[in-house]
């Protein structure tokens, strides 16, 4: 994933290796996608640096990525497995695709509840990316330094895949920990939202969106029938919602809001609040 209004610079695997070896930095988020994925699935937010191995001599990266998807995505992950195995470019330990076709068998996958009716299923991908194209973006949010490294990899004409890693400060537990009890500017707010919408590199699913107006009118969106999607519209607005309803924040209105980030549980749940003169919008993450 890239932040569109920042320069994306080319680099080599040396850049990635340097970041992995830097004791002051660590991976705070992962995003993975390929040609088969019909939706923007999320991955585990935290990664251990020793699970990513860089071989500069062979110009290869080996990484274990835990994707989290809706049940409808399990067929897409099966297609991914077929291509990875064909090209000897990875595997999915413990994933049994044949069980998806049998009504009497249940895929032995962890179903994580996002709401009373919606779940995400975790699948581990062991990736071997030979000769990937590597780029990076350096930026700061609220005085904290971040780096996004993108690996673009093609398996012939069968599949293209992208892996993105975001590095932050090693003494922070989660990505959003950098912003708790911090005075955030309009620029900071926009950049935090850009890490969530579309290609969500934070790894945090949105469990609710609440709009409260000062006249006591309140509107809420929760993942009852489907998971909450977040994206930038054609006009650049930030949209959070489902087919049943959505809450939109016009890009031109962002400067009228002040963002705050609050940790609401020790398990890593956060509350992101955009407070304006006449209303406020609250994003609840898992």
Q: Are residues 164 and 180 in the same domain?
A: no
Q: Are residues 162 and 47 in the same domain?
A: yes
pLDDT (tens digit per residue) in 66-94: 999 888 888 899 899 999 999 999 999 87
* Residue 257 and residue 189 in contact, taking contact as beta carbons nearer than 8 Å: yes
* In-domain check, residue 3: no
What pLDDT is stored for residue 46 in this prediction?
67
Of 169, 192, 212, which residue is a domain's last?
169
Q: For residues 239 and 114, what is the distance between their CA atoms, to the nearest angstrom?
A: 19
Q: Are residues 111 and 249 in the same domain?
A: no
Phi and psi at residue 157, to the nearest 5°: -95, 5
Of 123, 139, 169, which residue is a domain's last?
169
* Residue 65 and residue 127 in contact, taking contact as beta carbons nearer than 8 Å: yes
Q: Are residues 200 and 142 in the same domain?
A: no
CB-based contacts of 86: which residues, under 8 Å, 6+ apart? 155, 158
**Model confidence at 126: pLDDT above 70:** yes
**Confidence label for 98 from pLDDT (cuts 50, 70 and 90):** low
Mean pLDDT (whole number) for 200-228: 91
Mean pLDDT (whole number) for 206-234: 91
Tokens of 164: 């993105």
**Confidence label for 95 from pLDDT (cuts 50, 70 and 90):** confident
Tokens of 95: 């994933």
DSSP codes joined into one string, 221-251: E--SSSPPEEEE-TTS-EEEEETTEEEEE-G
What pLDDT is stored for residue 244 in this prediction?
85
What pLDDT is stored for residue 214 in this prediction?
85
Of 151, 169, 187, which residue is a domain's last?
169
Q: Are residues 38 and 118 in the same domain?
A: yes
* In-domain check, residue 204: yes
Helix (H) or strand (E) holding 50: none
Mean pLDDT (whole number) for 195-219: 92
Mean pLDDT (whole number) for 115-136: 93
* Residue 259 and residue 192 in contact, taking contact as beta carbons nearer than 8 Å: yes
Question: 């935290």: which residue's tokens?
Answer: 46
Q: Are residues 155 and 28 in the same domain?
A: yes
Which of 112, 114, 82 is CA-nearest to residue 95? 82
Q: Are residues 162 and 60 in the same domain?
A: yes
Question: 């609250």: which residue's tokens?
Answer: 282
pLDDT (tens digit per residue) in 30-55: 999 999 999 889 998 766 656 899 99
Calculate the CA 264 to chain-centre distance. 20
Number of domains in the chain: 2
* In-domain check, residue 93: yes
Q: Are residues 188 and 216 in the same domain?
A: yes
Q: Are residues 209 and 118 in the same domain?
A: no
Calculate the CA 282 to chain-centre distance. 19
Which of 122, 269, 276 is CA-nearest to residue 207? 269
Burial of 68 (0-12, 13-18, 19+ CB in 10 A): buried
* In-domain check, residue 1: no
**Model confidence at 180: pLDDT above 80:** yes
**Model confidence at 225: pLDDT above 90:** no
Q: Are residues 205 and 88 in the same domain?
A: no
Q: What strands, in cross-sheet order, belong to the sheet with 238-242?
A: 229-232, 238-242, 245-249
* Residue range(s) defining the domain that contains residue 230: 175-285
What pLDDT is stored for residue 101 in this prediction?
47
Q: Are residues 60 and 147 in the same domain?
A: yes
* In-domain check, residue 4: no
What pLDDT is stored for residue 138 in this prediction?
98
* Residue 36 and residue 80 in contact, taking contact as beta carbons nearer than 8 Å: yes
Q: For residues 71 and 111, what is the distance between their CA atoms, to the nearest angstrom?
A: 9
Q: For residues 62 and 273, what is the distance between their CA atoms, to the nearest angstrom?
A: 38
* Residue 204 and residue 193 in contact, taking contact as beta carbons nearer than 8 Å: no
Q: Are residues 153 and 260 in the same domain?
A: no
User: What beta strand segments (E) does 37-89 contain?
Assistant: 42-43, 52-55, 60-69
**Model confidence at 159: pLDDT above 50:** yes
**Model confidence at 23: pLDDT above 60:** yes
């Amino acid at each position: 994933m890239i932040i569109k209004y920042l320069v994306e610079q080319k680099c080599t695997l040396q850049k990635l290796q340097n970041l992995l070896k830097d004791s002051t930095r660590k991976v705070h988020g992962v995003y993975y996608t390929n040609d088969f994925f019909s939706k923007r699935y999320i991955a585990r937010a935290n990664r251990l640096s020793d699970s990513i191995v860089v071989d500069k001599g062979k110009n290869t990266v080996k990484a274990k990525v835990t994707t989290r998807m809706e049940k409808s995505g399990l067929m897409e992950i099966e297609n991914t497995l077929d291509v990875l195995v064909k090209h000897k470019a990875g595997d999915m330990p413990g994933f049994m695709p044949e069980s998806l076709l049998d009504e009497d068998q249940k895929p032995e996958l962890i179903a994580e509840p996002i709401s009373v009716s919606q779940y995400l299923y975790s699948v581990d991908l062991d990736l071997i990316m030979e000769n990937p194209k590597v780029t990076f973006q350096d930026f700061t949010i609220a005085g904290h330094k971040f780096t996004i490294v993108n690996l673009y990899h093609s398996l012939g004409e069968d599949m293209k895949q992208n892996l993105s890693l975001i590095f932050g400060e090693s003494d922070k537990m989660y990505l959003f920990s950098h912003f708790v009890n911090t005075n955030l500017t309009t620029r900071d707010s926009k950049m935090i939202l850009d890490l969530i919408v579309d290609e969500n590199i934070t790894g945090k699913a949105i469990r609710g969106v609440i709009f409260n107006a000062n006249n006591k009118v309140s509107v809420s969106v929760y993942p009852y029938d489907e998971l909450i999607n977040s994206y930038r519209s054609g006009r650049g607005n930030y949209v959070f919602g489902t087919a049943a309803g959505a809450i939109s924040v016009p890009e031109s209105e962002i400067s009228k809001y002040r963002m705050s980030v609050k940790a609401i549980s020790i398990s890593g749940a956060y509350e992101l609040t955009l407070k304006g003169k006449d209303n406020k919008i609250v994003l609840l993450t898992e």
